[in-house]
Structure 1
Amino acid sequence: MNASTLLPPGTAPTQAATRPRLAVHRLPMAHPGDLSALAALFDEGAIEPAQVVAVIGKTEGNGGVNDFTRGYFTQTLMSLLAARLGRPAAELLRELPCILSGGTEGVLSPHYVVFARSGRPTADAAAGPGPGALAIGTAVSAPLPAQHVGRWAQVASVAAAVREAMRGAGIARAEDVAFVQVKCPCVTAARAQAAAAAGHTVLTADSGRSMAAARAAGAFGVAIALGELPDDPALEAAMLVDFERFCRRASISSGVEVEANEVIVLGHSAAWEGTLRMACAPMRDALDIGAVAEALRPLGMNAAPQLGAADAARVAAVFVKCEPDRRGHVRGARHTMLDDTDINAQRHIRGAVGGMVAGVLGDARIFVSGGAEHQGPDGGGLVAVIAHAA
């Protein structure tokens, strides 16, 4: 595995040895290949290209197996960074997590969040008072063979990557991790055929089903790394079966545009400085507007019923996972998301939950991802907010 450094080979950081600091930039896109806002920040000197360590974005595709807006954005990002850094795009692709979710239904606005790290840890960095500022660590696993997708080998791969990312962030305790975002590969028809030709059997050759299995394995991997589940291979039988087992801080996506498990860990460390903080809360169902308030409360914000302008200005990024309740009801009322053959259920739920969260925050720039298997309570999901301290 390789943590993201993105410095050209043989290049030493030019900054003095200071505590690391994380900057979060939420940028608009006019189309899935539009990186002009980030290029402008580079040109202005607001961000050095070598400081970019991760990107999480929302593109306007369908969010399905054939959503190529994610690959289009990733290709454009790597081309931009390659030109600015003088490094091959293919090399950067193996180091820099670029985690995208397609589908901006309803009021959701296409955008991307750039995480930039400045400064370097010093020998006494961990001696700072208090829980510390928001820290980031990243890791990219070795390519995951198709026959491992949705199986315990993927669980173990994700768990190892999370632990590596925690070390890179200087986060020693699992309780200091606020949120983990993962992007996992899925099984396409071509990957299934290649595995079969090599004498391997995939868990499922159905691409959509494999995305769900990959998300489940990713959630279990994060839960194990954070101590929320035991590291027991027998638990493989519980994936997509026992939904009472879930991770309270994991957001997992899956897609054709990646071949490895890409991991971003966000948490708090006394080794870091800055004003950014993060909080995460589980959603018990698609109507749990209280979970939004619960995620805002530790950040010193109160929505009554919507955030005021001053608090809204403090919000740097918002991430949501949601899931159509597989039992077909929400608080006793029947829903039709699972039976609609015209609109995919994930598109329904992204639009519904995205509208609810956007209404509380007064902002449509929200990362809302469907497919919340084992990510928060069954039929619910989670809400995570990054904000500047008051």
Structure 2
Amino acid sequence: MMKCSVIKVPAGAPHDMTGLRASVEAGSIRPGEVVAVLGKTEGNGCVNDFTRGYAVLALKQFFASYPEGKEDKMSFIMSGGTEGVLSPHFTVMSRSGSFMPGEAGNGLKSLAIGVSRTRDLHPEELGRRSQVDEVAEAVARAVLDAGIESAEDVHFVQIKCPLLTAEHIHEAHARNAVPVTEDTYKSMGYSRGASALGVAVALGEVDREILLDKDICVNWELYSKVASSSAGSELSCCEIIVFGNSPAAEGPYYIDHDVMRDAIDGAALQRLIDRHREDELVQVLAKAEADPAGYVRERRHTMLDDSDINHTRHARAVVGGVLAYVCGDPMIYVSGGGEHQGPAGGGPVSAIFRRNQ
């Protein structure tokens, strides 16, 4: 049987491994069982946020220091930006045992985690259907890796995707290839959007046959209710972590999700907490977006017009504050930029719980 666990570790800086080391020494984290680390680092979350790569380097070196560590097979997904009250941290996901088809435990569905990655993508593929297709195939592999039986049991899909830099754009032009945009910041949105639509295609939320390149970052009627994508310059492929529940998994952890209709919809998380009030809330995973219409509940917002601070940073601060108030903990995972990740202006929110009995 597969058994998965989730441990939250505070970080004093992108390279701070003291919390991880203490958890390893205490026995709550076993380096040989870690399959992925999801982190919030304190950079700007934009194109030049090198705290993400810095954290990945530190994590790889940390796990390489243990003989049983398998850092070359782990997924390290860092989301930059801890605006407002968001607290920098790492969420460490471990998996022991293995999934066997047809295997079932005590009748309960427990947390199951699957990981996969795409091939390296060419610059001109970002933000287009080729990226959608590559992500869809990788998500399907991760679902299989987790032993999740149906799309309804998938409650969060985290993707780390590439972005365009000036060097990438120049390289594409040298091959007479045309990138989707020549604005490096906008490329983050295109890559996030195509990745999210890849999740939607894989889980049957969007029909691939009707999806066009021109729909990406334009047609907001198309979205996934469980996708979360974060773009960075530290990789060329898309790394995927699928969270869900499976009867072939055992252990006290499980996950559920809801959808925020806008940036101040804390009721979505409250519904999850109320639904599972008998159990312990372990971690919250959510997306944040400045509503592209420029309004929140019929009130104008200025996040999209601010030339000093990127709108993704505003959105993380707002949603982070709302959800931290609801759950009483600012050390939660909130990623900015919600293109095709939940309804326009809103986004998925998932919660991992630990059964108390």
Note whether the superposition's TM-score is higher than 0.5. Answer: yes
Distance in 1 separating the partners of 2:217 and 2:353:
33
Unaligned runs of 5+ in 1: 1-18, 302-310
Contact 1:27 1:112 in 2 (8 A): yes
Distance in 2 separating the partners of 1:274 and 1:234:
39
Q: 2:13 aligns with which of 31, 34, 39?
A: 31
SS in 2 for 1:55: strand
SS in 2 for 1:379: coil
Corresponding residue of 2:90: 112
Deviations 1:37-84 (A, max 9, x none): 212233343332121101111111111100011000000001112221
Deviations 1:274-293 (A, max 9, x none): 11111111111112121112
SS in 2 for 1:23: strand
Deviations 1:343-374 (A, max 9, x none): 22111111111111101111010111110011
Evaluate the alpha carbon distance shift between residue 131 and residue 87 of structure 1 in structure 2; reply closer, same or farther with a 3 A threshold. closer
Contact 1:180 1:264 in 2 (8 A): yes
Contact 1:131 1:268 in 2 (8 A): no
Deviations 1:193-232 (A, max 9, x none): 1122233221112111111000110111000110111122
Structure-to-structure mapping, 1:24-103, within 5 angstroms: 24-85=6-67, 92=72, 95-103=73-81
Q: Determine whether 1:278 maps to 2:245.
A: no
Contact 1:279 1:299 in 2 (8 A): no
**Which amino acid is the alignment partner of residue 41 of structure 1?**
S
Q: Determine whether 1:319 maps to 2:319.
A: no
Contact 2:154 2:245 in 1 (8 A): yes
* Cα displacement (A) at 1:328: 1.3
Contact 2:312 2:336 in 1 (8 A): yes
Distance in 1 separating the partners of 2:108 and 2:182:
46
Distance in 2 separating the partners of 1:72 and 1:336:
32
Distance in 2 separating the partners of 1:122 and 1:61:
41
Distance in 2 separating the partners of 1:336 and 1:71:
31
Corresponding residue of 2:217: 240
Q: 2:179 aligns with which of 202, 206, 217?
A: 202
Unaligned runs of 5+ in 2: none
Distance in 1 separating the partners of 2:273 and 2:213:
34
Evaluate the alpha carbon distance shift between residue 349 and residue 116 of structure 1 in structure 2; reply closer, same or farther with a 3 A threshold. same
SS in 2 for 1:84: coil
Corresponding residue of 1:224: 201
Q: Determine whether 1:148 maps to 2:130.
A: no
Q: Determine whether 1:379 maps to 2:340.
A: no
Corresponding residue of 1:351: 317
TM-score (normalizing by structure 1): 0.87
* Cα displacement (A) at 1:233: 6.3
* Cα displacement (A) at 1:172: 2.4
**Which amino acid is the alignment partner of residue 97 of structure 1?**
S
Evaluate the alpha carbon distance shift between residue 86 and residue 179 of structure 1 in structure 2; reply closer, same or farther with a 3 A threshold. closer
Number of equivalent positions: 356
* Cα displacement (A) at 1:88: 9.1
SS in 1 for 2:13: coil
Structure-to-structure mapping, 1:287-302, within 5 angstroms: 287-300=264-277
Deviations 1:218-275 (A, max 9, x none): 1110001101111226432211111011100101111101111100001111111011
Evaluate the alpha carbon distance shift between residue 292 and residue 20 of structure 1 in structure 2; reply closer, same or farther with a 3 A threshold. same
Corresponding residue of 1:186: 163
Contact 1:277 1:299 in 2 (8 A): no
**Which amino acid is the alignment partner of residue 272 of structure 1?**
A
Corresponding residue of 1:166: 143
**Which amino acid is the alignment partner of residue 105 of structure 1?**
E
**Which amino acid is the alignment partner of residue 196 of structure 2?**
A
**Which amino acid is the alignment partner of residue 119 of structure 1?**
G
Distance in 1 separating the partners of 2:259 and 2:69:
40
SS in 2 for 1:183: strand
Distance in 2 separating the partners of 1:134 and 1:320:
17
Contact 2:99 2:146 in 1 (8 A): no
* Cα displacement (A) at 1:294: 2.4
Contact 2:32 2:70 in 1 (8 A): no
After alignment, is 210-219 or 200-209 more displaced?
Answer: 200-209
* Cα displacement (A) at 1:169: 0.6
RMSD: 1.7
Contact 2:31 2:70 in 1 (8 A): no
Evaluate the alpha carbon distance shift between residue 214 and residue 131 of structure 1 in structure 2; reply closer, same or farther with a 3 A threshold. farther
Contact 1:152 1:233 in 2 (8 A): no
* Cα displacement (A) at 1:36: 1.7
SS in 1 for 2:6: strand
* Cα displacement (A) at 1:123: 6.6
Percent identity reads 45
Distance in 2 separating the partners of 1:53 and 1:135:
12
SS in 2 for 1:386: strand
Distance in 2 separating the partners of 1:228 and 1:373:
15
* Cα displacement (A) at 1:120: 2.7
Structure-to-structure mapping, 1:128-139, within 5 angstroms: 128-139=105-116
